[in-house]
Structure formats: structure tokens, C-alpha cells
Amino acid sequence: MREVVKTDKAPGAIGPYSQAIKITCSKLVFCSGQIPIDPATGELVGATAPEQCVQVLKNLKAVLEAAGTDLDHVVKTTVFLKDMNDFAAVNEAYAGFFANDPPARAAVEVARLPRDVRVEIQAVAMVD
């Protein structure tokens, strides 16, 4: 009923958590927050919040694919921003990944994120 999702196409967990958990009885996958790390190098990608948002969503896409789903099946995201002044620019980058029927979303400003990044995004998606 509970399956750990792990892929090397997205950064590995940097703490005691899984990249995602797939609940097979309800066909949902709960993705941990992704930050803008290049999974091949382990280095941070992007200096600006929109650049980081793009890498975050690429990482999230890889985790979802490893769980047997994709961005089109995301039902809810939470966007964590280091600075809410970046909201409009991040929104523009985010919209490029969710052009049709975007998921429900919350966006919050936080004091600090792992590795001092500007953006982190977590998601819940359906699995067919």
C-alpha cells in the first residue's frame, strides 16, 4: 500500500526522507520538496528564483515519472519562496510547466530553505 519512490534522475534525499511516497490503494504519490540541484553534478542550478524554479520542476518531473505519473497528474503543489518579491517571476516560470488546468497551489515565503536556495516545491499527484 505504501511504496518508496526513488530515482537517480532527480537529486537524492539529503536527509531522513524519501523523494516521494506512492500510496497504491488510493493511487496518489506524495513528493517531497525539490530544490534546484542538478542530479548529475549535485550542484545548485540558477542564481535567480525563476531559473531555480525551472530546475526544481525538472526534478519534480523526474520523481513523478519514477512513480509512474507526470506533471499533468499533479493535483496540489506548495511553493516555498525565500522572498515573496520573486512571486511574479516564479509564477511565469511555473506556468510553463502547468499550461493546461494547473493544480491547486499554495505559495508561502519562508525564512530559509535547504542550501539557501530561493525556491522549493512539493507536490501531490494522481497515479493511473
Which 8-state DSSP code applies to residue 37? B
Whose cell is 515565503? That residue is 109
Q: How far apart are CA 64 and CA 80, in angstroms?
A: 19
pLDDT in tens, 6-53: 999 999 988 888 999 998 788 999 999 999 999 999 999 999 999 999
3-state secondary structure of 42: coil
The total domain count for the chain is 1
| 72 burial level (CB within 10 Å; 0-12, 13-18, 19+) | middle
Q: What is the pTM of this model?
A: 0.89
Which 8-state DSSP code applies to residue 57? H
Q: List the domain range (segments joined by +) for residue 103.
A: 2-126
Domain of residue 72, CATH code: 3.30.1330.40
Q: Are 50 and 91 in contact (CB under 8 A)?
A: no
pLDDT at residue 104 in the model: 93
**CB-CB neighbours of 32 under 10 Å:** 19
State the maximum Cα–Cα separation within the chain, in Å, rounded to a whole number.
41
